[in-house]
Amino acid sequence: MDVISVIRAKRDKQELTPEQIDWVIDAYTRGEVAHEQMSALAMAIFLNGMNRTEIARWTAAMIASGERMNFSTLARPTADKHSTGGVGDKITLPLAPLVAACGAAVPQLSGRGLGHTGGTLDKLESIPGWRALLSNAEMMDVLDRVGSVICAAGDGLAPADKKLYALRDVTGTVEAIPLIASSIMSKKIAEGTGSLVLDVKVGSGAFMKTIEDARELATTMVELGTDHGVRTSALLTDMSTPLGLTAGNALEVRESVEVLAGGGPADVVELTLALAREMLDAAGLKDADPAKALADGSAMDHWRRMIQAQGGDPDAPLPVAREQHTVNASSSGVLTTLDAYAVGISAWRLGAGRARKEDPVQAAAGIELHAKPGDEVKEGQPLLTLHTDTPEKLPYALEALDGGVLIAPPGTEFTPRPVVLDRIG
């Protein structure tokens, strides 16, 4: 077997054989296949695609590159959620303890933000003392005692994907649906959860800009999960405007706590409950009522226990940015556009995100929204507040918002997009 033959086969739109896929993933993980060679193969896959058989084998080969976790000793059924990433997407924070409060175990392996999309681990690290890195034994202990854990994936889980993910990010192949699907599902299947709900974002702030592409990705991932014995479903959800009223690490933690306390923005509450019901149904707990768990305080109790179990102080003050800048409405009328991508790029430039995996983030940086599309606004009314510890970045953050905030004349009719657009599985 040689890598040139594999690259040529996919370049020429041929179906890769199981042997070719197994070999190239293993050889790349071991360093026998060079980065530039795998870059060429990734671009060939991006351009020419893969069929279901190829994607399933590619995913299986990435799973086989590392260890697999096993939660069969837990007394609770396991359910996990994965989001394809967006702006203001803090749903994992209230969702994991909420589902745990309803009787499931939630082993939530999460990631960090890159570019305009926020990362769950970055958000939680704004809580003093909280630890993302847990050993497998520590993870099992927290799951057993609390019912939910949010932590980083260990180095032994799908190491082939770690190498390939970093390569895709710098070679223009991130959006390849076969590679997105196999990347997500190899980690989730290796994680060992019994059921999985996918939150596939659609819109300007998502990787999938159209409902058609999102549906293709969701269907591919649901099929992969089913083929590997994991009960899997997907919700296609709107990411044309940010979720909730905050985008940024500590800001989103604060808003998540508001949701757990029975308040919070309506769209965040709606999506949290929709995903919770999907997870509980998949775990065989369809009679559980997540709305009741939010109302009676049990979800908040699980949140506090989960944060404490990972070294965090749920009562500690969250970081506050040194500098704030308010953007006011330029005219009176109806706010029709608050573009998720523009807000995400602006928050990133303020310090809430990173350009490279090794870059630090500012815990307090981000953007508060004072209005959402469909709201009537008055000239001079605050629309956004920008938070940063590096005020010299404010002009670049404001530049990113150009064209992303549009106000129509008073009385303009506006029909909001629903939060949940479709369901697959």
Q: What angle do the packed helices 249-260 and 298-309 form, to 10 degrees?
A: 140
pLDDT (tens digit per residue) in 287-341: 999 999 999 999 999 999 999 999 999 999 999 999 999 999 999 999 999 999 9
pLDDT value at position 111? 85
Q: What CATH number does the domain located at 3-49 have?
A: 1.20.970.10
pLDDT digits (tens, 9 = 90+) for 236-256: 999 999 999 999 999 999 999
pLDDT on residue 175: 83
- pLDDT, residue 264, reads 97
Confidence of residue 153 (pLDDT cuts 50, 70, 90): confident
Is 90 exceeded by the pLDDT of residue 118?
no
The whole-number pLDDT of residue 242 equals: 98
Structural fold of domain 80-154+174-309: Pyrimidine Nucleoside Phosphorylase; Chain A, domain 2 (3.40.1030)
Q: What is the pLDDT of residue 250?
A: 98
The contacts of residue 76 (CB under 8 Å, 6+ apart) are 103, 104, 105, 147
Report residue 39's pLDDT band, with 50, 70 and 90 as the boundaries.
Answer: very high
**The pLDDT value given to residue 1:** 87
Q: Where are the domains of the chain?
A: 3-49, 80-154+174-309, 323-408
Residue 196 has pLDDT above 90, yes or no: yes
- 155 pLDDT more than 90: no
169: phi then psi, degrees, rounded to nearest 5: -65, -30
Burial of 376 (0-12, 13-18, 19+ CB in 10 A): middle
> Where in the sequence numbering do the catalytic residues fall?
82, 161, 168, 183, 187
For the domain bounded by 323-408, which CATH number is listed?
A: 3.90.1170.30
355-401 pLDDT per residue, tens: 777 788 999 999 999 999 999 999 999 999 999 999 999 999 999 99
Rounded to an integer, what distance in angstroms lies between the CA atom of residue 167 and that of residue 161? 10
> What is the DSSP secondary-structure string of 351-415?
IIS-SSTT----SS-EEEES--TT-EE-TT-EEEEEEES-GGGHHHHHHHTTTTEEEEPTT----
pLDDT band for position 162 (cuts 50, 70, 90): confident
This prediction's pTM = 0.94
pLDDT tens profile 254-284: 999 999 999 999 999 999 999 999 999 999 9
Tokens (6 digits) for 227: 């083929």
Structure tokens, 387 = 């938070």
Give phi and psi for 164, each to the nearest 5.
Answer: -70, -35
pLDDT at site 266:
97
Average pLDDT of the chain, as a whole number: 95
pLDDT at residue number 168? 87
Could you give the CA distance from residue 422 to residue 141 in angstroms, rounded to a whole number? 36
- Longest CA–CA span in the chain (Å) reads 67
Stretch 12-39: mean pLDDT: 97
What percent of the chain is predicted at pLDDT more than 70? 100
Say yes or no to pLDDT of 147 above 80.
yes
pLDDT at 104: 97
Out of 152-156, 185-189, 297-301, 397-401, pick the least confident: 152-156
pLDDT of residue 124: 97
Which pLDDT belongs to residue 316?
97
